[in-house]
Amino acid sequence: MSVMEENRRPLDRIDYWLALALTALALFVYVQTLTPSLSYLSPDGNELATIPYLLGLAHSPGYPVYTWLGKLFTLLPFGDIAHRVNLMSATMGALSIGSLYLLITIILNPRIASPMLRRAAALFSAMLFAFSPTFWSQSVIAEVYAPNIAFIALTLLALLYWERTRRDRDFFLFALVFGLSLGTHISNLGFAPAFIVFILLTDPSTLKRPRWWLAAIAGFGIGILQFLWLPLRADTLNDRMMLERAPVTIMGMYRYTLGAFSQIKFAFPIEELPLRLVLYIDLIRNEFGLSGILFGLVGLFSLLFRRTKYYFLLVLMYLVHVWFFIQYRVFDLEVFFLAAHFIWAIFIAFGIAELLGALERLAKRFKNSLTVRILTSALAVVTILIGLAPLARNWYTSDHSDDVAVNDFYANVWEFLPENSALITRGGVMGYDAFYWPLIYNTRTDVFLPTLPTPLPVSTSLDGLDLYSATPINENQKARGPGALPPDLLPQDLWQVPVLIGAHQNQPGLLSQRGRLVLYHLTEEPPDLITDTAHPSTPLDLKLGGVTLLGIDLEPESVESGGRMHLTLYWNILKPDRYGVELSLGDSILEAHELGFGNLARYHKEVGISKDSVIVEDYWLVLPSTTPAGTHDLKLRLLIGGEASPIAEILVLDEEKDMERWLKIAGES
């Protein structure tokens, strides 16, 4: 077979079936571990779960294609809106895996190994990427990264299809998909130089054909027309930082897209780049292990000598992407390298194929053809089974099916808030934990959310309202950072008293900036934090280091999962200090707080606390809707030292499933 024939050979039917099987496997796993609704872990995912339904404008750079695809998924007849958008990530993530298998199969040189072993290498690498921790985590929440990898894969498939046919209409298709891909992540534009080099290596005479130029310009031009969505929907923005560069002019559109987030681009001096590169290598190790790095390096050399043209395409894409994002200053850096990890998976496939080919050649030293077939088949099976290992290894950290904290908390918030009240939340992108409910389900329209109509509300809008807050106001009084409140919105001396606390999210995963889920009552008068005598319904006299828990009041003692219980703790402080308290139900942490909820020092200064005073903590605690039915011990411990001590028994009822409860509250509030 000549080099030209190798480059233009079509895939066998079995490859399409294997790609479909991989897609189905990945989709099944992602659906099993899908976030049920709003996400606790994704910092801006709840905005991205809401905006598609509204056909509004997301934060920079706008993500038009993501928004439109998300709208299609919101039309599904099951689950709530956030669940449906999460399902889009799962579907597009699964599509990425099948596409990755096809890409590898197309690019792998037939001379490396037999078809069976080449397919085993492709399956191995595709599964390694599918169940790597970061890509898996992004395929089960409302975020742009899984859909973006799908568009990158489709762009490469379209380019390789054009390479095989050399038809201008097929290049139009590639250019169109490439242009559309910018609507899932605009950094894809950085792949253009690699595509140009590949085109020149494939057929330099292409550039002399006017029809090719027409196809390229028309396809890409139609793809980027999506960004006309920005000025059309700019009136839906309610984020202070986004409004500062609203895309209503040509310069505004540039600032909203290519010019967005300039403060975090190229944020490190040259002398720090080696350390950033070390950080990136550690990220690869976290995704694929040391063996993945080794096989990727072997694959790079294999690609260079066996498929040189594809080497320049993939390596240029890879280097541009890594070079750009190692200089990116963000807290969740790992997700920005997913495109590089996707390409590295192709390198790994080449490395694995070289190993399998070498082992196959050793096996052929046996003169018995049956023995050779058995050994080759065994190699393929073992390779595929090893490729499945990350599925078991990463399941615990990637399973977001119990990520219910945000929904459980706000379901209780809407039931808890009185009439004629205002709920103060972070503004803009960070406020969609709360905005989701009134925007989509018209939940509690009698409750005023000052940061929903505008990210810069004025204090007069709160006149006469009972004030509650879902964000610590003292930490946000200065207008800094995303979602910060205006500095003059609230008086400086308000007391913030927790009245409802959401369950702590135990699930491991991406670092979250969300913080604790707490509903504060804001008052001018000091809270009833101290009493002279205590008569708890359950006396305990439990000594915990420098404090004594005198007893508790608890009602009800039986509560539906996802509901709330009213808890009052009575404390006596033996030694003055700051104490952290943690409550858990069985082995699951419910919440942790500082004794007195951070108000003790101010209370002592302004009101006074005597040595014999009893500190009273009176609040409601949300029970996770994932809590199994049955009797559970409510335990308490100090955060520094001490064992968890049972303080009550809770009977958990399982009368309604979490989704049914959330939809019921959303619809009836």
Residue 645 sits in a domain whose CATH number is: 2.60.40.2950
List the domain range (segments joined by +) for residue 451. Answer: 405-523
Cα distances (Å, whole numbers) of residue 138 to 33, 109, 123, 145, 336 = 11, 32, 21, 6, 11
| pTM metric for this prediction | 0.93
Structure token digits, residue 64: 């038009």
pLDDT at 503 > cutoff 70: yes
Q: Is the same domain home to 646 and 581?
A: yes
Q: Is the same domain home to 292 and 410?
A: no
Among 481, 498, 523, the domain-final residue is 523
The predicted-structure confidence for 470-497, as pLDDT tens digits, reads as follows 988 875 444 456 778 888 899 888 999 9
pLDDT of residue 483: 78
Question: Is residue 375 domain-resident?
Answer: yes
Question: Is residue 664 domain-resident?
Answer: no
Would you call 519 helix, strand, or coil by DSSP? strand
Among 470, 500, 523, the domain-final residue is 523
What value does the mean pLDDT take over residues 505-519? 61
When pLDDT is cut at 50, 70 and 90, the band that residue 586 belongs to is confident
Q: Is the same domain home to 341 and 427?
A: no
What value does the mean pLDDT take over residues 112-128? 95
Q: Is the same domain home to 89 and 195?
A: yes
pLDDT of residue 487: 84
pLDDT of residue 478: 44
Question: Is residue 645 domain-resident?
Answer: yes
User: Could you tell me how far CA 34 lies from the centroid of its own chain?
Assistant: 11
Q: Is the same domain home to 490 and 596?
A: no
DSSP notation for 168-188: HHHHHHHHHHHHHHTTT-GGG
**Number of domains within the chain:** 3
Q: Is the same domain home to 314 and 419?
A: no
Q: Is the same domain home to 415 and 392?
A: no
The predicted-structure confidence for 337-359, as pLDDT tens digits, reads as follows 999 999 999 999 999 999 999 99
Of the candidates 203, 102, 212, 198, which has an alpha carbon nearest to the alpha carbon of residue 154? 102
What value does the mean pLDDT take over residues 169-191? 97
- The angle subtended at Cα 107 by Cα 103 and Cα 111, nearest 5°, is 140
DSSP notation for 457-504: --GGGGTTPEEEESS-GGGSSS--STTPPPTTSS-TT-EEEEEEEPPP
Question: Is residue 668 domain-resident?
Answer: no
> How many residues are there in the chain?
669
Q: Is the same domain home to 430 and 553?
A: no
Nearest-angstrom CA–CA distance, 97 and 74: 23
Whether 469 and 423 have beta carbons less than 8 Å apart is answered as yes
The predicted-structure confidence for 593-651, as pLDDT tens digits, reads as follows 999 998 888 888 888 888 778 999 999 999 999 889 999 999 998 887 678 889 999 99
Q: Is the same domain home to 434 and 337?
A: no
Q: What sign does the CA torsion over 517, 521, 525, 529 have? A: negative
pLDDT of residue 514: 60
Q: Which residues contact 415 (CB under 8 A, 6 or more apart)?
A: 665, 669
Question: Is residue 660 domain-resident?
Answer: no
- The angle subtended at Cα 134 by Cα 132 and Cα 138, nearest 5°, is 115
pLDDT at 93 > cutoff 80: yes
Q: Is the same domain home to 248 and 101?
A: yes
The predicted-structure confidence for 269-307, as pLDDT tens digits, reads as follows 999 999 999 999 999 999 999 999 999 999 999 999 999
pLDDT of residue 477: 45
What mean pLDDT is reported for the chain? 90
Among 506, 523, 540, the domain-final residue is 523
Q: Is the same domain home to 645 and 571?
A: yes
pLDDT of residue 537: 92
DSSP notation for 45-70: HHHHHHHHHHT--PSTT--HHHHHHH
Nearest-angstrom CA–CA distance, 61 and 57: 9
Cα distances (Å, whole numbers) of residue 7 to 140, 167, 195, 329, 559 = 36, 15, 17, 40, 65
The predicted-structure confidence for 21-43, as pLDDT tens digits, reads as follows 999 999 999 999 999 999 988 87
Cα distances (Å, whole numbers) of residue 543 to 471, 491, 534 = 32, 38, 16
